Amino acid sequence: MTVSSDRPSHSTGHQTASLTNTRILPEGHVLAGRFRILGSIGIGGQAQVYAARDEILGSDIAVKLIAPQHALDVEQVQRLRQEALLARELNHPNIVRVFEFYQDGQWVFLTMGLIEGRSLAEFLHEGISRQQTELWSEQLLLALRACHSHNITHADVKPENLLIDERGNLVLLDFGIGVHGDYERADFAGSQGYKAPEVTQFGKASPRSDSYSSGRLFADMLAATHIRTWHMGDWRWYLRLKRVAKQLSKPLAHQRISIEEAQERIAPAHHRNMAYTASLIGVGLVVLLYMVWSKPVGEFETPATSENVVKRVAIVYSPDDHLLGGISELLHLHLISQSGVDVVEQDRVDTLVRNLGLRPFRQQDHRNRLAQLVNADVMVLLQNSQISSGESPRVQVLLAEMPGNRLFGAFQGTVSNDALPQTMEQMLTHLNEQLALPARQPIVRPEELQRVEPVLRAMREGREAEAQTFVRSLQEEWPEFAGGWLAGARLAGNQGNIQQAQDQLDRVFQLSQDDEYWHLEGRALEAELSGDVNAAIAVTERLIQLFPGRSGLLERRAELALWMDDADTAIRMYQAALELDPSSPERWFELARLRIIQGQIQQALDNELTQALIKFRQQENLRGQGMVLNAFGVAYLRWSDPAMASRYFNEALEFRTEERDPAGRAVTLANLATVKSIQRQYAEAEAALAEAAVLFAQTDDQLGLAQVENEWGILLEEQGRYREALTHYRMALDLRIEAGATLQQAETINNVAYMHFLMADFSQADIFWKQSLNIFTRVGDQSGILRTKLNLAHLSLTRGDYTSATHILSEVLEQAKDHRPEEELVTQYFLSHRNFSLGLIETALQNSYRALKLAEEIGNIRPMIETRIWIAEMCAQLADSDCISEQIELLEENSQQLNAEQIILLEWLHKTVGVYENTATASEIAAFWSKFRKQLLPVQTELRVLLMTLELHPLPKDSWQWERVRELTRPVMYKEHMHGLYLQVIQFNDAQARENLRRMLQNHPYHWRNHLYYEIFSDEDSQRRADELRTALFEHMTPDQIEAYQRVYERSQTQDRTGN
């Protein structure tokens, strides 16, 4: 039978709606003239499920029907429609097939596959085997991964929505509240006990919400699983799945692992230490025992021999030995609460030991290498010295002082259940003495710990009812112990009960007035639960003060700064962390990434990226090396050095192979395509994009395919094929909308808007840029906000709306100055356009030179080229041939960096100088026209070149050049439109053009060339206005500029004051 989400549950704490007064369809009833009811499967308050016969296809199906009393409820109808739309996208053996959505008079229903079986809730009530748990957990992850690959969040994973069919396979049902991507709704449904805290509190559902529900479900499955207590393999499997369940169900979404990561971690690890014994269960409890057992007492006393010195400690053991893993976790908890100690992240140590095959306990050179890689001053070496399975496990501890490799502080003890408390107390005391740390005193006697050991085990294994009992016991028997209340707060937070967690935290704060460690831990949890970044920053900064010299705390502070869009602070924090621990390639890489974003590309290339690459090579981390080499390419690409970018992208591809890192390889191929398009190697660019598309398609990576479409757009844009580029940008946008990638949507919308702008479709550009600005504002992306505002300012300048443009540019300049060099550069560039258009020539040139300086500071050649072309264009309009020649010479130094548009503009500048100096021949000009006619250019650029060349070298009215001017010109491009009208008057004595120009002068009275335009009118007012404007213009020009300008543009043959 098929089980719906509204079927009554066997699980404790779950209730369904009342079934009274519910109308049930009789057997034989026909829906939509096609589906004949065979019988009822499940009846709930909101929906009913029936077995039915499809009379057209002759097959049995299931029908999910909105209960009649809710048939007119718009929300219920929408939920059922949503379920059909989402589930129809999925075709997976572990997901129920949904066919169609129907509205047939008073009946609203969908059709789906008919599955014979029982709900997982029933099996959990009866108890299940290890084999069933293994199979069903794997199948659930497969089903959810299929959902997430289509950017679908199920949002209601629970036992009642999981069916076990007749063959014993799990099938995921009920997408009634599923959503595309991340979604926020205040009244989000979902089932208590399986609903993530962010869904409960804020109505935010995402794939990580499904992770949380899966983790809670795995914990319930484990609690119902019968395992052989004497069997080592069962316990090893049990603890591995328990760990994954906890990692999936972390209280904060960003802390949880993804479904894909859970699949990797849940897979059997055949290389694990088979000497692992059942005694590790007791040791695994040590971490929790210790939280009750000890706490700091009084003020720490720093030994005179280690004053102001922070020891960096690495705990080293075989990562596959779970006995030592439990002890390592205890030692880590013991050390992190001590000032004067910085503990290396355990995952980092374990990864290096495993990947490099190190044996630090036995081999001195291995200790040296590991200490160098993690920058450790002291290594705590753990070894399991159990000789035979019949004796109690024993642990050996040995300390190594680095870099001298001096061994000291040997310790050995038994870790059986009976001897465990005494051994651990001795071990920690011994460690304190050897590291010159203050002693810690137990607040609970060992015999009292033995009394609560059974409930501690329950908490360790995730049985929440028993865990709750454990917390209550702690709080009742030792009410003055802040750790017990903190444990209760964490448990409540994990369950999504934020208010109860806060109540427990209040008690923590009352008890920890004189214990800053517990107090800060409580404040940290409070900030996590509330999402209060400012509070989290305050707590972290206090921890940094309390425990100086800890690189992990500085890294945490850097991450918080990034959440607040404070890149400067993040950079300082990463720098401080790396001064303490320069061995972390990940931190070097993050700092490099920030440098590149901030435009500090040279610094990133010379230092941070180089350090990251060295560290990854020392660790023999091939994926890391590929990642850094790709970043080198990105840095050189932003620095407009395509040759170096191409070199590094190709090196990255040697590491990012299809087998090792297919997704990374596809990303690098897309980057390489961008470089090849800049180098005008279009065939190579297309080949790289084609391979990237195949790799992304193989993994059904919608965002990756969107990136490929976006790169196709860039490739076509570089060739001037703007309409084709627009098509690909739109395809990228559709994919990103489907994937729910909000930030990337805004970036692509910017691209779409820019293509419309280049094609002079300004109304569409305006619509898309404003849409992009709304998205950037909603997600708080300050860089995106400023860049989009600059685009809107450019659009306003083009339209002649100087008031709006000036307001935007002033606002952006204030926010970007001294903090965002790239945005400040673009602002200065557009201010130059604005000031030149208003006749403020000297100021416009100063803006341009400021933009050049910023481009040089951040090492970005492309804006440097754009700015030099603009300076040359201003000089051309002023007839300053020396200035043009100077810019041409500088541009030719970077000729390899020019795109197709810039190459034709450079040739036009050459011909302009030739005309000014009377050295350009008619054949040379004709040759230029021939090349120009074949080149695709933005509409405004093409018009400017046409008009300025026609002014200096007139052609007949029926020439193709004038036909092209008439085809492209439109009033919204007021500068080009006025220029064209002016030339038609002085060259062809066009009366209609004269009247149109007069009207345009009234609408745009401040254009810098208006003094020329007024001179063609013979009335006194026009002549007086021309003289006033000329005088005002010349106040902003040098004498040499005035002389050159008058010689070319105010010569007598261009005057037409009489109309003849």
| Tokens (6 digits) for 877 | 């309009």
Model pLDDT for residues 547-582, shown as the tens digit of each residue: 788 888 898 889 888 877 788 899 999 999 999 888
The values of phi and psi at residue 42, to 5°, are -150, 135
Half-sphere exposure (Cβ direction) of 742: Cα atoms closer than 13 Å: 14
CA dist 222 and 239 (Å) reads 10
Per-residue model confidence (pLDDT) at position 948 = 94
Topology of domain 280-300+308-443, CATH: Rossmann fold (3.40.50)
- Closest C-alpha to 947, from 966, 922, 924: 966
Mean pLDDT, the chain, whole residue set: 81
| Tokens (6 digits) for 891 | 């541009």
CA dist 953 and 947 (Å) reads 10
Which of 71-75, 429-433, 858-862, 1043-1047 is predicted least confidently? 71-75
Per-residue model confidence (pLDDT) at position 466 = 64
Mean pLDDT value of segment 685-702: 89
Residue 821, preceding peptide bond in cis (omega within 30° of 0): no
Residue 22, pLDDT above cutoff 70 = no
DSSP state of 438: P
Higher pLDDT, 703 or 769: 769
Which residues on adjacent β-strands are paired with residue 226? 129
- List CB contacts of 240: < 8 A, sequence separation 6 or more: 265, 266, 269
Tell me which residue has tokens 């990012």. 656
Strand residues in 656-702 grouped as ranges (E): none
Mean pLDDT value of segment 716-729: 90
- List CB contacts of 920: < 8 A, sequence separation 6 or more: 911, 914
| Tokens (6 digits) for 729 | 């940008």
Model pLDDT for residues 195-217, shown as the tens digit of each residue: 888 777 667 788 888 999 999 99
H or E segment and range at residue 408: strand 406-414
CA dist 204 and 195 (Å) reads 11
Q: For residue 127, count other CB atoms closer than 10 A to its CB.
A: 11
- List CB contacts of 640: < 8 A, sequence separation 6 or more: 860, 861, 862, 864, 865, 897
Q: Are 35 and 190 in contact (CB under 8 A)?
A: no
Sign of the alpha-carbon torsion through 931, 937, 941, 944: positive
CA distances from 74 to 78, 81, 108, 888, 928 (A): 6, 10, 11, 67, 66
Q: Are 662 and 693 in contact (CB under 8 A)?
A: no
Higher pLDDT, 172 or 77: 172
CA dist 111 and 839 (Å) reads 70
CA dist 1013 and 994 (Å) reads 9
Write the DSSP assignment of 898-910 as a string of letters.
Answer: --HHHHHHHHHHH
- List CB contacts of 91: < 8 A, sequence separation 6 or more: 97
Model pLDDT for residues 641-667, shown as the tens digit of each residue: 888 999 999 999 999 999 889 989 999
Rg (the chain; Cα; Å): 36
Write the DSSP assignment of 601-648 as a string of letters.
Answer: HHHIIIIIHHHHHHHHHHTT-HHHHHHHHHHHHHHHHHTT-HHHHHHH
238 three-state secondary structure? helix
CA dist 772 and 964 (Å) reads 33
106: burial class by Cβ within 10 Å (0-12, 13-18, 19+)?
exposed
Per-residue model confidence (pLDDT) at position 448 = 35
Per-residue model confidence (pLDDT) at position 709 = 92
CA dist 948 and 32 (Å) reads 70
Model pLDDT for residues 788-846, shown as the tens digit of each residue: 999 999 999 999 999 999 999 999 998 888 778 889 999 999 999 999 999 999 999 99
| Tokens (6 digits) for 123 | 């099996």
- Please report, to the nearest 10 degrees, the dihedral formed by the alpha carbons of residues 406, 408, 414, 415 taken in order: -60
Pairing of strands 341-343, 311-316: parallel
| Tokens (6 digits) for 407 | 């061994």
| Per-residue H/E/C for 935-951 | CCCCHHHHHHHHHHHHH
H or E segment and range at residue 856: helix 841-858
CA dist 941 and 69 (Å) reads 65
Q: Are 153 and 206 in contact (CB under 8 A)?
A: yes
| Percentage with pLDDT > 70 across the chain | 83
Topology of domain 127-162+178-266, CATH: Transferase(Phosphotransferase); domain 1 (1.10.510)
- Closest C-alpha to 854, from 865, 863, 846, 845: 863
- Closest C-alpha to 462, from 484, 491, 488, 489: 491
H or E segment and range at residue 231: none
pLDDT band at 388 (very low <50, low <70, confident <90, very high): low
CA dist 135 and 162 (Å) reads 13
Helix axes 682-698, 662-678, angle to 10 degrees: 160
CA dist 471 and 1018 (Å) reads 96
CA dist 1010 and 838 (Å) reads 10
| Tokens (6 digits) for 651 | 């090196």
The values of phi and psi at residue 389, to 5°, are -70, -15
CA dist 96 and 173 (Å) reads 6
377 three-state secondary structure? coil
Model pLDDT for residues 601-625, shown as the tens digit of each residue: 888 998 999 999 999 998 889 999 9
Q: Are 286 and 324 in contact (CB under 8 A)?
A: no
Higher pLDDT, 270 or 165: 165
Per-residue model confidence (pLDDT) at position 297 = 30
CA dist 854 and 306 (Å) reads 47
CA dist 551 and 313 (Å) reads 12
H or E segment and range at residue 800: none
Higher pLDDT, 655 or 57: 655
Tell me which residue has tokens 């959990």. 124
Sign of the alpha-carbon torsion through 148, 150, 154, 160: negative
Tell me which residue has tokens 């609408």. 1003
Per-residue model confidence (pLDDT) at position 748 = 92
Residue 302, pLDDT above cutoff 70 = no
Per-residue model confidence (pLDDT) at position 449 = 36
- Closest C-alpha to 109, from 167, 64, 173: 64
- List CB contacts of 74: < 8 A, sequence separation 6 or more: none
Model pLDDT for residues 876-919, shown as the tens digit of each residue: 999 999 999 999 999 999 888 888 899 999 999 999 999 998 89
Residue 246, pLDDT above cutoff 60 = yes
Q: For residue 476, count other CB atoms closer than 10 A to its CB.
A: 9
| Tokens (6 digits) for 375 | 């920058």
Which of 318-322, 387-391, 994-998 is predicted least confidently? 387-391
Length, in residues, of the chain? 1060
Q: For residue 499, count other CB atoms closer than 10 A to its CB.
A: 9
